[in-house]
Structure 1
Amino acid sequence: MNANANGGGAADLLADFAANIEELEVEKRRIADRIKEVKASARSAGFDTKVLNQMLRERRMSQLERQEFQALCEMYRAALGMLGGTPLGEAARKRLMGEIPRPPDPADASTPAAPEAVDRTMDIEAARAAGRAAAREGKRIIDNPYMADDPRRAAWDEGWCAETGTDGMEVPEAWRRCKKSDDNPPDGGDDDGGGQ
């Protein structure tokens, strides 16, 4: 009789768990439908939902995670030749093609030196030197303090790369995808091990 009572109690408990999970699944579907409705409203208001989804992913990141993600995206774009038309891409292209303008020769009186051009060249050289110093201090290439639209960013990267003797594209071990073992379910799979 005790075994029957214990079996009945376990069966009731199992039935409660199953009912709770089923209710949560229904609620999950309702929430997913509401999210789809909000995204459809955003699309009809003229917003790009792919970009909105990316912004939502980035909003879930901490500031440090977001900065590292953006720096990695920039490095990947550079490696894949996708920086055309951006300040960093243009600077890289001009550097490779030997088109970087030289500062005016002070001895040449026919070309008066523009103060901004001289200052910018000096700033770029200072940024390049800062990149070398940062590499000697063991800083990572993503620690570049300049924004993407600042020409000093490329100079800082050049200095860092020249000092380390690399192209800065080494992916740190912590940022690499983990190799999947046969024991782990594939991404997006259920954690309960069941297929249905």
Structure 2
Amino acid sequence: MTGRNTAAGKELMSIVERVESVIAAKQTMTDDIAAILAEAKHRGYVPKAIRHVIKVRAMKPHDRQESEAIIATYLHALGDEAESPLFRHVNQMAVDVTSREEVAEALKSLVPSNGSIIVEAGGKGVKLTRDKDGHVETHDLSTPWPAATGGQAPAPGRPSRPTAKPAEAPDVDGDGAEALGREAFRANEPVIRNPFPFGDDRRPRWDLGWRLESGSDGMGPGTGQA
């Protein structure tokens, strides 16, 4: 005989109610986010842009660089970008304007078949890749790629699921928090992985370290940078 009062029925009901509870909590979170974005819109911000910023901040640095480089290359191919990534890169070098094309072609000649090279100048880099047909594509890197170690660039991955209990914040001072932020960028961690809770004075210092290591000016809100 089956029914709600049986052992199997009670177990199934427990599972169903747990799922329903999570769905209800998710709906509450969705409503809260909508309310925050509505307030932001009222204050003059663009909700769609805020959602995009949140998505970008959740990306690993190298995934973000690759995405931006591909978009720039595609825009150039469509005629929506005045210069290719390679020409913008050569422009940072101490090269006469009339020699830019020769330098660009010389760099392309160094790319092996079915391989790639990374050239750095002005603190930034450009990745040149040759396909099986011999065509060379160029991608901007907003910050230099890690030093070659024989490995490949990290592939995009799914963001880890949040744990039920947040990890304890590292036992360091402000300088230590900044150093951890720098280490996090070098480890390809997204900026949203800040281990310090909101309201902690060390949280903006971690953000500062991450941004400075990424090559930006580090002048984020609450960093004390002028």
Structure-2-length-normalised TM-score: 0.44
Do the aligned partners of residues 128 and 14 (structure 1) sit closer, same or farther apart at CA in structure 2, a change above 3 Å counting? Answer: same
Structure-2 separation of matches of 1:144 and 1:10: 64
1:43 & 1:57 partners in 2: Cα distance? 18
Give the alignment partner of residue 75 of structure 1, picking from 73, 76, 91: 73
Counterpart of 1:132 (choices 93, 109, 123) is 109
Letter aligned with residue 133 of structure 1? L
Question: 1:166 corresponds to which letter in structure 2?
Answer: H
Residue in structure 1 matched with residue 135 of structure 2 by the alignment: 166
Q: Are residues 50 and 128 of structure 1, via their aligned partners in 2, closer, same or farther at CA, if it must alter by over 3 Å? A: farther
Gaps in structure 2 of 5+ consecutive residues: 139-154, 156-226
SS of the residue corresponding to residue 78 of structure 1 reads helix
* C-alpha distance in structure 2 between counterparts of 1:19 and 1:119, whole Å: 71
C-alpha change, 1:79 and 1:40, in structure 2 (3 Å) is same
Higher normalized helix content (fraction of residues): 1
Q: CA deviation at 1:10?
A: 1.2
Whole-angstrom CA distance in 2 between matches of 1:55 and 1:144: 29
Pair 1:21 & 2:19 matched: yes
1:31-46 to structure 2, matched below 5 A, reads: 31-46=29-44
SS in 2 for 1:39: helix
Question: Which secondary structure does the structure 2 equivalent of 1:22 belong to?
Answer: helix
Q: Per the alignment, in what secondary structure is the counterpart of residue 168 of structure 1?
A: strand
Higher strand share: 2
* TM-superposed deviation, 1:126: 3.7
Aligned equivalent of 1:97: none
Q: Secondary structure at the match of 2:50?
A: helix
Identity across matched positions, percent: 22
Matches within 5 A, 1:49-88: 49-83=47-81, 86-88=82-84
Sort the Cα spacing of 1:126 and 1:81 in 2 relative to 1 into closer, same or farther, 3 A: closer
Map Cα deviations across residues 161-187 of structure 1 (whole Å, 9 max, x no partner): 7xx742639xxxxx9xxxxxxxxxxxx
Partners of 2:116 and 2:51 in 1: CA distance: 32
After superposition, the Cα gap between the structure-2 partners of 1:165 and 1:4, relative to the gap in structure 1 and judged at 3 Å, is: closer
User: Which deviations, in whole Å up to 9, do the C-alpha atoms of 1:105-158 show, x marking residues without a partner?
Assistant: xxxxxxxxxxx9964445664454233323469216xx56469xx9x96xx86x
SS of 1:71's partner is helix
Task: Give unmatched runs, 5+ long, in structure 1.
Answer: 93-115, 170-174, 176-196
Does the C-alpha gap of structure 1 residues 49 and 125 become closer, same or farther in structure 2, counting only changes over 3 Å? farther
> Using the alignment, how far apart are the partners of 2:48 and 2:121 within structure 1?
28
Deviation at 1:14, TM superposition (A): 0.4
